[in-house]
Homo-oligomer: A and B are copies of this chain.
């Protein structure tokens, strides 16, 4: 075990000393992989250290314990997700329906490419009851933020008359709109890309259903006569 054969390709001399600002992200990345593969309880500190090319003792030099390392891993992963969506919404001008389509398609495309976020979601879900603060963190930093974004678009569209008035009740509708993309991600994770429901087909059906179901009929006054 003299040459580090973990992920740095070469034959780095063992015991290279690095600045904490450089070693810490190495450890976090290695720990993410370890936690993702074995789950919280199954993950081994020694194995995580080995993935980072260091020894277990060093991890305890940077993190007080396993639980703290886990939380640090989660926190280090959630930041960049929303920037894209928020920029898209802020910069968009045009029909709200097109904005909504863009958001949905963005979500599916991220699912298709970004693997780390899928893994992270699984981790949070699996360990939520053992780390209540983690569930609270997910709720505040991820779910609520996403719901607010989608809800804002829905209400704007309803206010402008472009969407049916029911779209304004975003409390129920926003999660319904987001769910299929998230489930697509989960299925990909569980079943692999081969056996999961087809991503492109879901994306198309999803956009289609949402636009047909939300956009106000062009000829007003003949909507749902109901009973």
State the Cβ distance, A146 to closest chain B Cβ, in Å: 11
- Contact, CB under 8 Å: A204 / B172: yes
Bound together, the chains give a CA A68 to CA B164 distance in angstroms of 52
Q: Is A90 an interface residue (CB 8 A)?
A: no
How many residues does chain A have at the interface if contact means C-beta atoms less than 8 Å apart? 61
CB <8 Å contact, A172 and B122: no
- Bound-complex Cα distance A42 to B143 (A): 27
Q: Is the CB of A37 within 8 A of B129?
A: yes
Number of copies: 2
| B201 & A169 in contact (Cβ 8 Å cutoff) | yes
Interface centre among A125, A186, A209 (most CB of B within 10 A): A209
Q: Mark A32-53, 1 if CB is under 8 A from B, else 0.
A: 0000011111100000000000
Q: Which residues of B contact A201 (CB under 8 A)?
A: 169, 171-172
A residues with a Cβ closer than 8 A to B are 37-42, 122, 124-130, 135-136, 138-139, 143, 147, 164, 166, 169, 171-180, 182-184, 186-187, 189-192, 195, 197-198, 200-206, 208-214, 219, 222
What are 23 inter-chain pairs, A to B, with CB distance below 8 A?
A37-B129, A39-B39, A39-B42, A41-B41, A42-B130, A124-B190, A128-B190, A136-B195, A139-B195, A172-B198, A172-B200, A172-B202, A172-B206, A174-B197, A175-B180, A175-B183, A175-B184, A175-B187, A176-B180, A179-B180, A209-B209, A213-B213, A213-B214
